[in-house]
Structure 1
């Protein structure tokens, strides 16, 4: 719908051409003839294309069948036509032309092919970048009817005279086919069947010693009851596969005599001759095509040669499509195995993740995402991209994702997590580097620490729907920073209020042909700001924005929203640093605990909380050589809790012991376990944190 040659119509697809000066006259003539005509407005920034009611009629679409995404029109535009149109519109955009136009065919709801014409006008900004395409689309059936009939007659004549142009035409159409279904669509195209001089065709694929019929053209060609047949069955398709030789049937009498079991089932189709062509690849049959004729008997030597060449062309395309699908399945399976199988439920947060493989290339890359639940109401979010688009990139990505997750779970700071991941990648036997963005969010306070390694900045969607870019200080990509000895990664701190969402993505979601990265980020910011509030719907919309363009890059997307009402929130927070051998600091910490507990409405549990906190501090000072950091905070959510954290610099985990003979030593963890509602130990990279929580009543 949106493509054309440089300044005119596509050669060979129209009876004439529209020059720019004929545009107005063409419009008037179209209206004068009463042709159906509709208009469209294609926003290249968002990828959405609006069409009016008349355009819906031209495409034989109901309004509810079109969602303003151009790829939706694929249900009406055959694959061969769609590939040609995509190439033409890309050339028009890159060449700097202001207009284009072309004729193309659509398949109606009834399955008939119909000629259509479109003309578009490209609107560019001051820098010459294409921003919009506005234009018309109209039914061109009547004006091309005579030319089409003539072309079909010429195609039949060419086949009967042994003209290899028919093979070339079919091969050209099959060149756009990437999947088995694409091959079927090219052959099932009614116009394509007529080009080969046949009235109908059937196609079967060989699988596990049987022939499975997968296509027919036109509709109704399948014979009931024989959708799956054995290779040794008495049918012409089976014979062609069994002998690896084409089977030509030159008359109804020969058909009836050679295949008495099949002929009664197809006699009503008035077939006068048929050709069954084995599809052979690497000396093995992969399928068979049957061409059925209504208006001829017998085949000349030249006609047989053309059909054999046609079968070879179809076989090559089919094998290429099978290899592509096998490689695609393998690549996607490997990619999915490397990505997290499930995303954990994180209290206090809503999450949405998406991965989309490249539409071009090998459909595999090094893009990844990960969500890492951390203790204390914290969560780590990772988005990254390993250089390259092959299985090696995916393998490196899988290893890097696992080690980065392990470093974060050990309790290292975000900067340390990134530095260690870079060192790991540098030590691998690979020349790949990776960009990465790591965010660690405390969902109770809303504080987010972000570290960036050569990656895109994240975006922040606010409660009102507005969206803005978060500027995050960055370091070198992973692997490169270790190679150059620059492992310092600055940490940027931001706040995430309840209802606000952090958007992290790879560059495949942002980059657009002919535009710079800043423009792509601005377009993405607009999409997010105007998108739905539901996180999953928003993620779907963002990924759908790249469906209208062929891209050689993968897309990974992660959205994290801090919940509002009902989420775990902080109602207060106090911290005290207690050095070893400093009794004044220890007294100050006890004083802070005593007053905070009473001020926060936990007077009834004050003695227990003070005793437990004192035991935890004492253990940290007695069994380590460094200081103890005491943090008190109130958490509100489903219930109200007071949490005590005591951090030290020792990685040795505490263990419960029986009290000694003096009745003093060994009681610390026993008291914590008996008095606290819940307690635990967290690794913090360098050291650990022993924590406990007490359920306390809400304030009056």
Structure 2
């Protein structure tokens, strides 16, 4: 092995011919390391790579310490030792050397281990080369790869953010998307600020993290020296690449945000159709400067955000208009009803994921009627738009007018159907109308394609009331089927009548019957107070969501303080039928005595006979006589209805005349009287107070 110390190297037998020449062409040096002797012979190229002269090197590896720093030497020795111990045939390592001029050079070595028959390592033959340029190329490629990866990630974030913005319906939705963890924070932004242009000012709508708000910047003039205001004025983005640039450019703002440790910022104008609608700022605390690609991405993102923000602003404007129209079409106030508690609620539809308006044609109404009666209405016009709301408003008004005119429930529904059919619309409507007499508890119900009402009893048990119905309003007139059956329901003290639209009942995946059963169970277990019950039901509808609006009306007949009457009696008197007239007189006489008004019996019989006779004499049709006990029996009411619209009038009877004294008698003998329109006819009514002494006597017939 001593001959190797003289500078002559021998290469492995399997190395190619002229290997030294090949190594030299590739700027590689070679070495032969005799492990037993501890000598490592290097060729001239290896000397050049280590920047050491032949006379400076004595073939001992430790002499290279003058070029190999200690930490690099330890790492290289550990690599070689590990290869010798684990039986490896070769090893490779990068390490740094320090050249004569003090510069560092990356070097790579590759060693091939020769072992004897026992596996003991005896010799290492290897090569060394200057790896500085190689690692620089690798670093450049890695940097480019990292830049490409970052660019792809940023592009992906832009794509994801743009896709999420497509579902944003409100301005707050846009802000939430941008603040989401999958949004702009992936671009490295620490804080987001955003403002909208309104009447020559910039109004802040997103102010970054908690504690970052700068007092006095919530509303600023466009000419004020703030970065968002600047990009609005210039319509150009502003990229701030250092804290020094920020402080110099915006000395008023900078002192207030120094605690955020901002190192750079990007302010983008939000432009739609060449008009600024706002501005957005992204603040960073871990970067300086922006590449051209990053600037292009942020500008493109700003354009996408501007489009989404404009859509959201249009949607909110339309929503405000639509909801204002909806509220204007619904009753402004609900009248108080003597003897009853009433609760009404309305919930606008929540149409998720679409650009439709949160408005529909559902409505409720409560109509005071003569004689202590009240009309309760619930309805739903087809569609969810402003047209549906407009049709609803017109239909509600005419239905209210027909009911106030005194038409029967069936006639009210039929006339409303004709009105809707003749209206310039292709919409139809479902409706349910209930006319309640709270003195007697009698409720007459008609239904036009609507869902059935529900009745909760005093013990809170609840049931569905099957009501025969006709076609929806508009359709029944179109098909010439204006018949609406009338059902009668008894509303006892403590009972609650519930009318609602199908938005409260229908649930995804369930049919109407299942929904009605679920609603019935909820009402049965709900609060006793109708207002709290209405709140509970509308809150459940809100939690469930859904794409339909909800209208709800509850009518509760009170127990102790409700006007409880002794009942209602009615008799039909046909013209030219003396027997019917006699039966009507008998009914009046019997009712007066049964209801404890015997001291005024003669007066009541006389006035009733006068009204019936006038109806038969001055009209061509029949008369309908109705007697009611009101206010717990403290007042009696007599109604005579006929088919003539001509109102009764006073006439001079003359000294010997026997005609013309009817209204004079009515005015003198009754405590109150009046005339009501009833469809094509009228109703003359009068009321009599019943003395307390009469009500305390036992009720006996004479």
Same fold (TM over 0.5): yes
Shift in Å, 1:585: 4.8
SS of corresponding position for 2:548: coil
Q: Which has the higher contact order (CA 8 A, sep 6+)?
A: 1
Shift in Å, 1:173: 3.3
Q: What residue number does 2:192 align with?
A: 201
Match of 1:227 among 208, 211, 218: 218
Q: What residue number does 2:78 align with?
A: none
Shift in Å, 1:656: 3.1
- Cα distance in 1, alignment partners of residues 146 and 328 from structure 2: 49
SS of corresponding position for 1:278: strand
Q: What residue number does 2:317 align with?
A: 326
Match of 1:649 among 643, 649, 659: 643
Does the CA-based 8 Å contact 2:322-2:359 persist in structure 1? yes
Question: Compared with structure 1, are the counterparts of its residues 326 and 650 closer, same or farther at alpha carbon in structure 2 (3 Å cutoff)?
Answer: same
Q: Greater CA deviation, 648-657 or 208-217?
A: 648-657
- Cα distance in 2, alignment partners of residues 573 and 485 from structure 1: 34
Summarize the alignment of residues 310-459 of structure 1 with structure 2, pairs less than 5 Å apart: 310-360=301-351, 361-459=356-454
Does the CA-based 8 Å contact 1:439-1:449 persist in structure 2? yes
Q: Does 1:674 align with 2:665?
A: no
Shift in Å, 1:157: 9.1
- Cα distance in 1, alignment partners of residues 529 and 166 from structure 2: 41
- Cα distance in 1, alignment partners of residues 307 and 389 from structure 2: 29
Shift in Å, 1:582: 5.0
Question: Compared with structure 1, are the counterparts of its residues 272 and 161 closer, same or farther at alpha carbon in structure 2 (3 Å cutoff)?
Answer: farther
Q: Give the gaps of 5 or more residues in structure 1.
A: 1-153
Shift in Å, 1:630: 2.5
Q: Give the gaps of 5 or more residues in structure 2.
A: 1-144, 697-702
- Cα distance in 2, alignment partners of residues 310 and 588 from structure 1: 87
Q: What residue number does 1:566 align with?
A: 561
- Cα distance in 2, alignment partners of residues 695 and 594 from structure 1: 16
Question: Compared with structure 1, are the counterparts of its residues 158 and 310 closer, same or farther at alpha carbon in structure 2 (3 Å cutoff)?
Answer: farther
Shift in Å, 1:311: 1.2
Shift in Å, 1:518: 1.2
- Cα distance in 1, alignment partners of residues 451 and 171 from structure 2: 37
Q: What residue number does 1:489 align with?
A: 484
Q: What residue number does 1:520 align with?
A: 515
Q: What residue number does 1:47 align with?
A: none
Deviation per residue, 1:329-352 (Å, 9 max, x gap)? 111111112222211112222211
Match of 2:253 among 250, 253, 262: 262
Q: Does 1:212 align with 2:203?
A: yes
Shift in Å, 1:690: 0.8
Does the CA-based 8 Å contact 1:193-1:217 persist in structure 2? no
SS of corresponding position for 1:546: helix
- Cα distance in 1, alignment partners of residues 347 and 304 from structure 2: 32
Does the CA-based 8 Å contact 2:326-2:389 persist in structure 1? yes
Question: Compared with structure 1, are the counterparts of its residues 158 and 606 closer, same or farther at alpha carbon in structure 2 (3 Å cutoff)?
Answer: farther
Q: What residue number does 1:65 align with?
A: none
Q: What residue number does 2:465 align with?
A: 470
Deviation per residue, 1:383-430 (Å, 9 max, x gap)? 111222222222222222222222211211111121222222222222
Match of 1:242 among 233, 236, 241: 233
- Cα distance in 2, alignment partners of residues 220 and 194 from structure 1: 18
Match of 2:292 among 284, 288, 301: 301
Does the CA-based 8 Å contact 2:449-2:469 persist in structure 1? yes
- Cα distance in 2, alignment partners of residues 674 and 247 from structure 1: 90
Deviation per residue, 1:494-532 (Å, 9 max, x gap)? 211111111111111111111111111111111111111
Question: Compared with structure 1, are the counterparts of its residues 670 and 301 closer, same or farther at alpha carbon in structure 2 (3 Å cutoff)?
Answer: same
Deviation per residue, 1:573-613 (Å, 9 max, x gap)? 33344444555654554454345334432233334333333
Question: Compared with structure 1, are the counterparts of its residues 460 and 162 closer, same or farther at alpha carbon in structure 2 (3 Å cutoff)?
Answer: closer
Deviation per residue, 1:93-150 (Å, 9 max, x gap)? xxxxxxxxxxxxxxxxxxxxxxxxxxxxxxxxxxxxxxxxxxxxxxxxxxxxxxxxxx
SS of corresponding position for 1:545: helix
Q: What residue number does 2:626 align with?
A: 631
Q: What residue number does 1:56 align with?
A: none
- Cα distance in 1, alignment partners of residues 630 and 506 from structure 2: 42
Deviation per residue, 1:210-231 (Å, 9 max, x gap)? 1111212211111122221100
Deviation per residue, 1:437-480 (Å, 9 max, x gap)? 11111111111111111111111111111111111111111222
Q: Greater CA deviation, 669-678 or 529-538?
A: 669-678
Q: What residue number does 2:634 align with?
A: 640
Does the CA-based 8 Å contact 1:202-1:221 persist in structure 2? no
TM-score normalized by the length of structure 2: 0.74
Question: Compared with structure 1, are the counterparts of its residues 187 and 642 closer, same or farther at alpha carbon in structure 2 (3 Å cutoff)?
Answer: same
Shift in Å, 1:187: 2.7
- Cα distance in 1, alignment partners of residues 303 and 544 from structure 2: 32
Deviation per residue, 1:222-280 (Å, 9 max, x gap)? 11222211001111111011111111111122122222222222233322111111111
Does the CA-based 8 Å contact 1:354-1:539 persist in structure 2? yes
Does the CA-based 8 Å contact 2:364-2:551 persist in structure 1? yes
Match of 1:687 among 681, 687, 697: 681
Question: Compared with structure 1, are the counterparts of its residues 648 and 155 closer, same or farther at alpha carbon in structure 2 (3 Å cutoff)?
Answer: farther
SS of corresponding position for 2:565: strand
Does the CA-based 8 Å contact 1:411-1:683 persist in structure 2? yes
- Cα distance in 1, alignment partners of residues 576 and 152 from structure 2: 104
Match of 1:499 among 475, 494, 498: 494
Does the CA-based 8 Å contact 2:204-2:218 persist in structure 1? yes
Question: Compared with structure 1, are the counterparts of its residues 280 and 657 closer, same or farther at alpha carbon in structure 2 (3 Å cutoff)?
Answer: farther
Q: Greater CA deviation, 645-654 or 566-575?
A: 566-575
Does the CA-based 8 Å contact 1:201-1:221 persist in structure 2? no
TM-score normalized by the length of structure 1: 0.74
- Cα distance in 2, alignment partners of residues 585 and 462 from structure 1: 39
